[in-house]
Amino acid sequence: MAVRPSSAPRIAFVCAATSVARAAKARLEKRYGAATTAEADVIVALGGDGLMLQALHRNMRRLKPIYGMNLGTVGFLLNTFKESGLLQRLQKARQVELTPLRMEATNTHGRTSTVLAINEVSLLRSSRQTARIEVAVDGKKRLEELHCDGVLVATPAGSTAYNLSAHGPILPLGAGLLALTPINAFRPRRWRGALLPRASRVEFTILDPKKRPVAAAADSVEIPNVARVAVTEAIDTRLTLLFDPEHDLEERILKEQFDP
């Protein structure tokens, strides 16, 4: 076990289930020491974007900064993997604060579940029939009946994920906006979504939920057979990511808008 300098942060390493990530975790713990997530000053996540989202969710109440190193594929939310110089990289890292979304989903039996989402809240049809959804923003009905495969609300950090695949807009981190994006909208045929102030309350009412069932998901947590879903920004929760100065998340999001 490596001897940790008294001024060095206590690090908890978490990793994906792959053999590569597990082996890297063992080597890094031997080199820098191993703290539990409860006692650590910083959490280092080893894997891909999925592992980073998992780490953020699991440590949401701990208020610990998370520094990710990419051992996955895209690694949009992670830094380049390198075993040496980790303490120096942590010292020089820039902080980026993210605010998740709060989903309040009520199912057809009247039970309400509250879940936080870092990337997006999405509603998806659960049968072969098109979903029919009423959309209201801040108490005002904006769409009486959206015929679609689904609809989602994305944060700026999540705007390059599922939202982008659904042809939604990419949002800079400091834009103060949320993306409301339909998924394969049939009617209104020309509706492509909306940009909303981050303080907006978006409410979805499922029309004919028994015949046309819909599931709601906050990142990877899914609630089946929903009747109503409300989405707001969870302003009482702040998540801190750490990035190398050359790995600027805002720059990466901006760059995505110019990639062919």
Residue 260 has pLDDT above 80, yes or no: no
**What is the Cα Rg of the chain in Å?**
20
Q: 3-state class of 107 per DSSP? A: strand
Q: Which residues are catalytic?
A: 49
CA atoms within 13 A on the CB side of 219: 22
Q: What is the DSSP string of 150-206?
A: EEEEE-TTTTTTHHHHTTPPP--GGG-EEEEEEES--BSTT---EEEETT--EEEEE
Q: What is the DSSP string of 58-101?
A: HTTTTT--EEEEE-SSS-TTSBPP-STTHHHHHHHPEEEEE--E
Torsion of CA 186, 191, 193, 194, to 10 degrees: -150
Pick the CATH number of 101-233 from 3.40.50.2300, 3.40.250.10, 2.60.200.30, 2.40.50.140: 2.60.200.30
Name the CATH topology of 11-98+238-256. Answer: Rossmann fold (3.40.50)
9-18, 225-234, 244-253: which range is least confident on average? Answer: 244-253
pTM of this structure: 0.85
| Percentage of the residues of the chain whose pLDDT score is greater than 90 | 80
Q: Which residue has the higher pLDDT, 123 or 258?
A: 123
H/E stretch holding 252? helix 249-256
Backbone angles phi, psi at 21, to 5 degrees: -70, -40
Q: Can you say which residues are annotated as belonging to the binding site?
A: 49-50, 119-120, 147, 149, 157, 160-165
Q: 3-state class of 249 per DSSP? A: helix
- Compute the mean pLDDT over every residue in the chain, rounded to the nearest whole number: 92
Tell me, yes or no, if the two domains 11-98+238-256 and 101-233 fold the same way. no
38-52, 65-79, 140-154, 208-222: which range is least confident on average? Answer: 65-79
Sign of CA dihedral 48, 69, 75, 159: positive
Q: Can you say which residues are annotated as belonging to the binding site for NAD(+)?
A: 49-50, 119-120, 147, 149, 157, 160-165
CA atoms within 13 A on the CB side of 99: 14
Read off the amino acid at residue 43. Answer: I
Residue 7 has pLDDT above 90, yes or no: no
Q: Where are the domains of the chain?
A: 11-98+238-256, 101-233
Diameter of the chain measured on Cα atoms: 63
pLDDT digits (tens, 9 = 90+) for 62-119: 889 999 999 988 778 899 999 999 999 999 999 989 999 999 999 999 999 999 999 9
CA–CA gap between residue 162 and residue 254 (Å, rounded): 17
